[in-house]
Structure 1
Amino acid sequence: MAVRCSPPGGGQRSGSVWCERSGADVTRVALITGASSGIGLATARLLRGRGYRVALVARSADRLNEVAAELGALALPCDVADIDALPDLVSATVDEYGSLDVLVNNAGVHYRGSMLRHTPQQLAQMVMVNTAAPIALTRAAAEVMQPGSVVVNVASLAGKLPLAGAATYSGSKAGVRFWAMAAAEDLAERGIRMATVNPGPVDTGFFDEDLEHVTPMTFSQPMSTVEQCAQAVLKAIEADESPMEIDVPFASGKLATLGYVAPPLRRILRPALEKRGAKVKAELMRQKGLSG
């Protein structure tokens, strides 16, 4: 069920609590998945601060409603792995705001370590959330989006380079990247742009629950903040290019691309990168009181 919330001082509208920010440009509407924390929450805050009306999607209804109350947003609790429920997210957004201009496919799940550690259901969930859900939700959104709208997919640098210890996650993110590149041509027929943001490691607490199983290679690159990633999403929204990709950080993206197109070079660089990443991982584990 959709919940409309506002901070103190919001007005009443149609029996729902609502927030209007004086002087704000509220002409654009964004639907953001994975919006209760991390990159999704940072993106929601950034867009709301710029006057967007935002509809927020996450599995945890309690946390999502707290965020909606903070931002004056539409809360749509949903597990995006439930493909049949995704068209309802689009309908609820349009029913509330009258349009949908921006879709941010941000929700993601990652079970860490060798695929042999995980059940077939866990592996399938990664594919459903990371790849199938963005495809299905974009298909539903395309039915109501007008020319000038944009779809932004938050993928990963792991989708640009095979990553041992994250095989299914890496494959699922590669899948959404390549789908986005191809689907951009389909969406162009309706004047809808497609973009992808590829973060490297992000300081979100995403690693904390299973740190010992995170591959050292993950930590070989600089850690970005959720705010930096949100700025990349905003840049993708405001750009004219389609399809387009933004890597965060830029240099890590170039290194990943180089490693993909030149496998011999990847093999040469890998030991040094893994050594660097292992040092960072060991320090993080020490800080958290975990054994190496």
Structure 2
Amino acid sequence: MRTVLVTGCGSGFGLLTALTLARRGDRVLATVRDPRSEGAERLRRSAADEGLPLEVRRLDVTEPFAGAPVELDALVNNAGYILRGPVVTLSDEELRAQFEVNVLGPVRLIRALAPRMRPGGVIVNVSSIAGSVGVPFEGAYSAAKAALESLSAALRFELAPYGLHVVVIAPGNYGTSIRARARWAEAFTEDHRDRAAHDRFWSAFDRSLAGRGDPQEVADAVAAAVEAPEAAYHRLVGKDAEFLYDLHRRTSQEDFERLVGETLGLER
């Protein structure tokens, strides 16, 4: 039985991933920031009703890791959030908070737990297509995911001598609560000059690409990475992620901007 620690299990991909791994027979340490949340309670009920090897534990990735020593076979860095607003509206504090959760959080856990992982173990970092393609009005989120992917590439070199694998899962836009729970830049008010462009872009995006996949696909991709980490390093999940990644690779940045702008209503 593998032991897997998953962060951000209170909702969305993390919750589904924790249940998926436990149902496949892994011992899952499902971590949440608030153990009294609805998601944490759902995990406990499922564990009790189905007899799953799943424990709910409190973990805030912005705090130093202070958990009890445990030997892990896999670490899934999933916790994160989206900061929404044009880059020029973002305060230093808002930018720091975005990187604190989405970049420094995974680094803290890797630093604390990688030395305790068994050879053959895997670190799965949940990124986003935003890490490869700069998403308008989510520049900080895109930058944080790009940083996570670069760190993951470096970690593959550094941890390979210890028998550890690193895999990146990059989903597209799924119908989870992460967008509903996005934090808005304080300066990006309803009367901001870019608010209409933001609304046109996301309305067109929702109509064209988003919400067509089942979030379970991402949980299954994470579980597959835990089971077979020696396969592909960077794994796209979702038709929109595959389409945008391929388009970006095949075209210049200028042409990519033009095509996306024309399709999704961004003025140039």
In 1, Cα distance between equivalents of 2:224 and 2:245: 21
Match of 1:263 in 2: 253
Q: Say whether the 8 Å CA contact 1:194–1:243 is kept in structure 2.
A: no
Alignment partner of 2:230 out of 235, 241, 246 = 241
Contact 2:7 2:59 in 1 (8 A): no
Choose the corresponding residue for 1:75, options 56, 60, 68.
56
Displacement of 1:243 in angstroms is 6.5
After superposing the two structures, state which structure 1 stretch, 264-273 or 32-41, moved more.
264-273
Number of equivalent positions: 241
The correspondence of residues 121-140 of structure 1 with structure 2, limited to 5 A, is 121-140=93-112
Structure 2 CA distance for partners of 1:56 and 1:240, relative to 1, 3 Å:
closer
Identity of aligned residues (%): 30
Whether the 8 Å contact between 2:13 and 2:218 is mirrored in structure 1 is: yes
In the alignment, the residues of structure 1 paired with residue 218 and residue 133 of structure 2 have an alpha-carbon distance, to the nearest angstrom, of 19
Relative distance call for 1:208 and 1:101 in structure 2 (3 A) is same
Q: C-alpha separation between the residues in 2 aligned to 1:65 and 1:129?
A: 19
Structure 2 residue 34 is the aligned partner of structure 1 residue 60? yes
Stretch of structure 1 that moved more, 214-223 or 257-266: 214-223
Q: TM-score, normalised by structure 1?
A: 0.75
Distance 1:202 1:147, change over 3 A: same
Contact in 1 for aligned 2:31/2:58 (Cα 8 Å) = yes
Q: Where do 5+ consecutive residues of structure 1 fail to align?
A: 1-26, 278-292
- Equivalent pair of 1:221/1:252 in contact (CA under 8 Å): no
Aligned-partner Cα distance in 2 for 1:218–1:126: 23
Instruction: Pick 1 or 2: higher relative contact order, CA cutoff 8 A, min separation 6.
Output: 2
* Alignment correspondent of 1:16: none
**Following superposition, which runs of at least 4 residues in structure 1 exceed 4 angstroms of deviation?**
209-215
Alignment partner, residue 158 of structure 1: 130
Task: Report how far residue 265 of structure 1 moved.
Answer: 2.5
The partner residue of 1:272 within 256, 262, 266 is: 262
SS at match of 2:119: coil
- Select which of 108, 126, 143 maps to 1:171: 143
How far 1:79 sits from its partner (Å)?
1.6
Q: Residues 103 and 218 of structure 1: is their aligned pair in 2 closer, same or farther, counting only changes over 3 Å?
A: farther
Residue equivalent to 1:38? 12
Residue 195 of structure 1: aligned partner = 167
User: In structure 1, the residue corresponding to 2:260 is in which secondary structure?
Assistant: helix
Once the two structures are TM-superposed, the CA of residue 138 in structure 1 deviates from its matched residue by: 1.1
Task: Describe the shift of the 1:273–1:239 C-alpha distance in structure 2 as closer, same or farther (beyond 3 A).
Answer: farther
C-alpha distance after superposition, 1:90-115 (max 9, x if no partner)? x35x1xxxx21010000001121223
Distance 2:145 2:21 in 1: 24
Q: Could you list the per-position Cα deviations for residues 108-133 of structure 1 after superposition, in whole angstroms to 9, with x for gaps in the alignment?
A: 01121223444422221110111111
CA–CA separation in structure 2 for the residues paired with 1:245 and 1:235 = 13
Q: Is the 8 A contact 2:124 2:167 kept in 1?
A: yes
Corresponding residue to 1:181 among 128, 144, 153? 153
State which drifts further: 200-209 or 161-170. Answer: 200-209
> Secondary structure of the equivalent of 2:116?
coil
2:187 maps to: none
Q: Name which of 218, 221, 227 aligns with 2:209.
A: 221
Q: What displacement does 1:272 show?
A: 3.4
Q: Are the equivalent residues in 2 in contact too, given 1:201–1:218 (CA < 8 A)?
A: no
